[in-house]
A and B are shown apart, each in its own frame.
Chain A
Amino acid sequence: EVQLVQSGAEVKKPGESLKISCKGSGYSFTNYWIGWVRQMPGKGLEWMGIIYPSDSDTIYSPSFQGQFTISADKSISTAYLQWRSLKASDTAMYYCAKHGISRAPFDAFDIWGQGTMVTVSS
């Protein structure tokens, strides 16, 4: 079964750092672009960026540029989303999702992780 399993919910203070994870299984992790989507409480979906685990080629949304880092460790089939200094406005559910077609950067997300809720509050 193809699945993406994300790390658990986090509660952090403003200014703290955080790295959340997304582990893929049941498919060739290195050959499919994997991305991150933000959903703020009660709001819609926002595309943050994607990474190709084979060579770590990464594309960020200009709306989010510089606010976080997307990375991947292909040796353990895991993608990451990392912040150096969280803000209250980073409070949201974060989903990872993979593309449906091997090697294709232009594609829809066919499999989604269960989501990681990040709460940033003093």
Chain B
Amino acid sequence: DIVMTQSPDSLAVSLGERATINCKSSQSVLYSSNNKNYLAWYQQKPGQPPKLLIYWASPRESGVPDRFSGSGSGTDFTLTISSLQAEDVAVYYCQQYYTTPYTFGQGTKLEIK
């Protein structure tokens, strides 16, 4: 199985400041034939199901605010929230869908400082 490791496990950021979450895969999730990274980011708020934010490592899902951005390639990826809002408090997960089982990272809990 591909192991997805997120850092940090938890993060406290002031309102309006930048939040950065990292995700590292144990092997590359870049498919060379189409140059796509099979990597998604999800947001899970308390008591809610996860919500897809980012797919193919960087495109935003429809309706996701543009303060959310994804970057990276191969084995190292980043989710950035450019200006933290109160409603962004949640747990964030990365997931690879390069090969089954489509493993998730352990999650990063984002709070307001």
A and B are interacting partners: yes
- Tell me the A residues contacting B by CB distance below 8 Å: 35, 37, 44-47, 49-50, 59, 61-63, 95, 97, 100, 106-110, 112-115
B104 at the interface (CB under 8 A from A): yes
B44 to chain A, nearest CB (A): 8
| Distance, CA A49 to CA B51, complexed state (A) | 18
Please name all residues of chain A whose beta carbon is closer than 8 Å to the beta carbon of B38 when the two chains form the complex.
106
Is B104 within 8 A of A46, CB to CB? yes
**Which of B50, B52, B95, B103 touches A95 (beta carbons < 8 Å)?**
B50
Bits for B21-59, please: 1 = Cβ < 8 Å to A, else 0: 000000000000000001010101000011110010000
Q: Which residue of A lies closest to B51 (CB)?
A: A112
- Tell me the B residues contacting A by CB distance below 8 Å: 1, 38, 40, 42, 44, 49-52, 55, 61, 91, 93, 95, 97-98, 100-107
- What is the total of A-B residue contacts with beta carbons within 8 Å? 60
Q: A-B pairs with the 10 shortest C-beta distances?
A: A108-B40, A61-B101, A112-B49, A45-B104, A108-B55, A44-B107, A47-B102, A47-B101, A110-B52, A59-B100
A–B complex contacts, Cβ < 8 Å, 22 sampled: A35-B102, A44-B105, A44-B107, A45-B50, A46-B104, A47-B95, A47-B100, A47-B101, A47-B103, A47-B104, A49-B101, A63-B101, A100-B55, A106-B38, A106-B98, A107-B55, A108-B55, A108-B97, A109-B50, A110-B55, A112-B51, A115-B49
**Which of A45, A49, A115 touches B93 (beta carbons < 8 Å)?**
A45
Q: What 17 new A-B contacts, CB under 8 Å, besides A62-B101, A97-B49, A100-B52?
A: A35-B102, A37-B50, A44-B104, A44-B105, A45-B42, A46-B104, A47-B103, A47-B104, A59-B100, A63-B1, A100-B55, A106-B38, A108-B40, A108-B95, A109-B52, A110-B61, A112-B51
